[in-house]
Amino acid sequence: MPTSDHADLPLERPARADKPRTEKSKYKRILLKLSGEALTGDAEFGIDPKVLDRLALEIGQLVGIGVQVGIVVGGGNLFRGAALHEAGMDRVTGDHMGMLATVMNALAMRDALERSNIRSRVMSAIPMSGVVEHYDRRTAIRYLTSGDVVLFSAGTGNPFFTTDSAACLRGIEIDADVVVKATKVDGVYDKDPVKHSDAVKYDQLSYDDALDQKLGVMDLTAICLVRDHDMPVRVFNMNKPGALLNLVVGGEEGTLIDRG
Ligand SMILES: Nc1ncnc2c1ncn2[C@@H]1O[C@H](COP(=O)(O)OP(=O)(O)OP(=O)(O)O)[C@@H](O)[C@H]1O
Ligand SMILES: O=c1ccn([C@@H]2O[C@H](COP(=O)(O)O)[C@@H](O)[C@H]2O)c(=O)[nH]1
C-alpha cells in the first residue's frame, strides 16, 4: 500500500507525459480542481504565492511520473456571483466577475508552474485574445498529450454554474481517468466538518448517496454530470503535503465518489 510520504521525491524538470504510463501512476490523465478559497492560505482574501509554489511542486511530481494534468481553478478567493448578488449586484454580472476571477487565479498558477520549470497553458471558456487562449478541446488534448499542464479557466463560460461543474465537464471532455477535487477538508463528511466537529468522514460514497444527502462539498449539478458519465471523483485535503501524489499512485486519500 502506498504511503503519503512522497514529499521527498525529485522536483526537477519533469519527464514528458507522452511516454507510456509508468508503473507508479494509477492514472494516465487527471482533472484537478483547485479550490480558489484555499489559495488565500492564511490570508483573508487574494492569493498567497507560497501556496501556489507548494502546489506547483506537487503538480510537478505528477508530471514527473508521466501523469497528464488538466486543472480547473475556482474563484472563491476573489469573487462569487451568488455573494455579489446578495450584496445587490445583478447575478449574471456577478457570475461574469467570478469567472474572470478564475482567469486571474489560473494566470497566477501558470506563473508558479513556469517558475518551477513546468510547462503550462491557460485556456479560457470566455475569449480573451492577447491574454489567454480560447478553450478548444482538441487543442487541449494535444497539449496534455505532449506533457503540458493545461489550466482551464473561466469555468464553463456560462453564469449560474460553478467551477466544480466546470471541472467535471472538462474532466469528461478530455477523457480524464478521474476528477480530483482539492479542498480544505479531508474529504466528504456526513455534514460540513467546518461547522460540525462531530461530522463523520466517508471513505467512499455513491453518486446517488451524495445527491440524496445533498452533501455540500460539491454542487449537485456537478455530481449529476459525473454520475451520468460514470466519472469517479476523489475529494482530498490540498493542505496535506504529499496527498496528491499519494492518491495518484493508488493511495486511499480523502473520499472516493463513484457508482459504488
Ligand atoms: N458534507 C461535506 N463534506 C465536506 N465538506 C463540506 C460538506 N458540506 C460543506 N462542505 C464545505 O465544502 C467546502 C469545500 O468546498 P471548496 O473549499 O472546494 O469550495 P468551492 O466553493 O468548491 O471552491 P472555491 O473556493 O473555489 O469557490 C469545505 O471547505 C467544507 O467546509
Ligand atoms: O461555469 C461557471 C463557473 C463559475 N462561475 C462564477 O465564478 C464564481 C467562482 O467560481 P467558484 O466555483 O465559486 O469558485 C462562481 O461563484 C460563479 O459566480 C460561473 O458563473 N460559471
In a domain, 3, yes or no: no
For residue 5, the model assigns a pLDDT of: 40
pLDDT of residue 10: 41
- Residue 125 counted as domain residue: yes
Return the SS3 of 167: helix
The boundaries of the domain holding residue 44 are 29-258
The CA distance from 160 to 156, in Å, is 10
> For residue 14, which phi and psi values (nearest 5 degrees)?
-70, 160
Distance 183 CA to ligand 1 centre (A): 7
Report the distance separating Cα 152 and Cα 154, nearest Å. 7
Q: Per the domain annotation, does 71 fall within a domain?
A: yes
Q: Extract the runs of DSSP E, i.e. beta strands, from 161-258.
A: 178-183, 204-206, 233-237, 255-258
Q: For 166-187, how does the pLDDT look when each residue is reduced to its tens digit (9 = 90+)? A: 999 999 999 999 999 999 899 9
Q: What pLDDT, in 10s, does the model give residues 18-65? A: 444 455 889 999 999 999 988 998 887 899 999 999 999 999 999 999
How far does the centroid of ligand 2 lie from the alpha carbon of residue 18, in Å? 32
CA angle 72, 180, 1 (to 5 degrees): 150
CA of 249 to the centre of ligand 2 (A): 30
Q: Is residue 246 part of a domain?
A: yes
**Could you identify the atom of ligand 1 that is nearest to the CA of residue 189?**
3
pLDDT value of position 38: 85
Q: What is the number of the ligand closest to the CA of 39?
A: 1
pLDDT of residue 45: 83
Give the phi and the psi of residue 85 in degrees, each rounded to 5: -65, -45
Residues making up the annotated binding site for UMP are 75, 95, 156-163
State the average pLDDT over residues 86-104. Answer: 98
How many domains is the chain partitioned into structurally? 1
Rounded to an integer, what distance in angstroms lies between the CA atom of residue 233 and that of residue 66? 20
Is the sign of the CA dihedral 94, 95, 99, 102 positive or negative?
positive
- Domain membership of residue 5 (yes or no) is no
User: Can you give the pLDDT at residue 135?
Assistant: 98
User: What is the helix (H) or strand (E) element at residue 110, kind and residue range?
Assistant: helix 91-115
Least confident of 101-105, 215-219, 230-234: 215-219
Within a domain: 162: yes
Tell me the CA distances in angstroms from 34 to 8, 52, 54, 127, 245, one per residue in order: 22, 11, 13, 22, 15
Q: What SS3 state is found at 134?
A: strand
**Given this model, what pLDDT does residue 217 score?**
85
Nearest CA owner, ligand 2 atom 16: 80
Q: What values do phi and psi take at 204, rounded to 5? A: -145, 150
Q: What is the mean pLDDT of residues 127-135?
A: 97
Residue 24 lies in a domain: no
Contact 72, 166 (CB under 8 A): yes
Residue 114 above 50 pLDDT? yes
Give the per-residue pLDDT at 43: 81
Q: How far is the CA of 116 from the centre of ligand 1 (A)?
A: 28
Separation CA 158–CA 101 (nearest Å): 14
Rounded to 10 degrees, the C-alpha dihedral 186/40/123/227 comes to: 20
**Residues flanking ligand 2, CB < 6 Å:** 36, 74-76, 80-82, 94-95, 98-99, 101-102, 155-156, 158-159, 161-164, 166
Residue 172 lies in a domain: yes
Domain at 196, CATH number: 3.40.1160.10
pLDDT in tens, 188-210: 999 999 999 999 999 999 999 99
